């Protein structure tokens, strides 16, 4: 009874039970103490890494695609750091388990100039430019692709991102996209056809209930792709 009252009157999300009962979102993994971890990359034998390996298993059980599974890791507006830590460690743990992983992140420091009307169709669509940006990382099986920040998103950018996903489908087993709801609403969430999973990152005692509700409403047409949440304790 005390726990139910606490969940009801606390302005923040505090438990997996609350996420299920109030928001209809199941918790796929609980990550203990991830904010206090000494490094953004979890130690291989840590409880945090174990939670991420469990999440990798959940995604594998949901996989039905012939090519790469495309998973968007997102969060309400108040949890960008937690979201990026979860996305990074999902990629690292999946790579350690033998998957070929592409981690896609937004980079607010990178802005692009749209191509001119000249040049080949391939150049105009930017596919070569994007492919050249894929770089190797120190982690087994993980490659990294930086995208322009949300300030540079438009229909042209969306088409290029679709091209990247299609081209990467044969080269990778898992594509992890780290991005917030506000910056992807017009790009990823408005065009969810190439997404296989959406995972919401929620910080226990930090994520406000009203922010989470707004985030779930922002999913709109992507709600059917919502696999569940990661609860960072």
Assign domain 2-111+119-232 one CATH number from 3.40.50.300, 3.90.550.10, 2.40.50.140, 3.30.1120.10: 3.40.50.300
Q: How far is CA 78 from CA 85, 138, 178, 228, in A?
A: 14, 29, 15, 18
CA dihedral (42, 218, 131, 168) in degrees, to 10, reads: 80
Q: What are phi and psi of 205, to 5 degrees?
A: 80, 0
Please tell me which residue, 40 or 9, carries the higher pLDDT value. Answer: 40
Q: What are the tens digits of pLDDT across the range 147-181?
A: 765 544 555 566 666 777 777 888 899 999 998 87
Say how far apart CA 186 and CA 182 lie, in whole Å: 8
In this predicted structure, the answer to whether residue 216 has a pLDDT above a threshold of 70 is: yes
In this predicted structure, the answer to whether residue 222 has a pLDDT above a threshold of 70 is: yes
User: Taking residues 60-88, what's their average pLDDT?
Assistant: 86
Residue 227: its H or E element:
strand 226-232
Q: What are phi and psi of 36, to 5 degrees?
A: -90, 5
Percent of the chain surpassing pLDDT 70: 71
> DSSP readout, 193-215?
GG-SEEEEEEETTTSBHHHHHHH
In this predicted structure, the answer to whether residue 26 has a pLDDT above a threshold of 60 is: yes
What's the pLDDT at 29? 96
In this predicted structure, the answer to whether residue 8 has a pLDDT above a threshold of 80 is: no
In this predicted structure, the answer to whether residue 111 has a pLDDT above a threshold of 50 is: no
Could you tell me the residue ranges of all domains in the chain? Answer: 2-111+119-232
Buried b (16+ CB within 10 A) or exposed e, 141-160: bbbbbbbbebebbeeebeeb
User: Taking residues 71-94, what's their average pLDDT?
Assistant: 91
Q: CA 192, 74, 10, 55 torsion: positive or negative?
A: positive
Say how far apart CA 172 and CA 191 lie, in whole Å: 21
What's the pLDDT at 187? 54
Longest dimension (CA), the chain: 68
What's the pLDDT at 148? 62
What is the number of other CB atoms lying within 10 angstroms of the CB of residue 180? 21
Say how far apart CA 160 and CA 54 lie, in whole Å: 32
Please tell me which residue, 38 or 144, carries the higher pLDDT value. Answer: 144
């Amino acid at each position: 009874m005390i726990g139910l009252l606490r969940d009801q009157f606390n302005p923040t999300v505090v438990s997996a039970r609350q996420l299920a009962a109030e928001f209809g979102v199941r918790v796929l993994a609980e990550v203990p103490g991830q904010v206090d971890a000494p490094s953004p990359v979890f130690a291989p034998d840590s409880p945090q890494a174990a939670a991420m390996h469990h999440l990798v298993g959940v995604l594998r059980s949901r996989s039905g695609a012939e090519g790469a599974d495309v998973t968007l890791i997102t969060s309400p507006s108040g949890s960008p750091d937690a979201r990026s830590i979860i996305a990074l460690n999902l990629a690292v743990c999946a790579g350690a388990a033998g998957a070929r992983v592409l981690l896609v992140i937004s980079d607010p420091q990178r802005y692009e100039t749209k191509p001119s009307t000249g040049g080949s169709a391939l150049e105009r669509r930017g596919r070569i430019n994007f492919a050249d940006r894929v770089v190797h990382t120190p982690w087994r099986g993980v490659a990294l692709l930086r995208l322009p920040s949300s300030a540079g998103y438009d229909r042209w950018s969306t088409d290029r991102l679709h091209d990247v996903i299609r081209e990467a489908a044969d080269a990778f087993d898992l594509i992890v996209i780290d991005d917030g709801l506000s910056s992807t609403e017009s790009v990823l969430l408005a065009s969810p056809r190439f997404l296989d999973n959406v995972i919401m990152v929620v910080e226990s005692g930090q994520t406000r209930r009203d922010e989470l509700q707004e985030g779930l409403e922002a999913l709109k047409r992507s709600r059917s792709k919502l696999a569940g949440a990661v609860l960072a304790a």
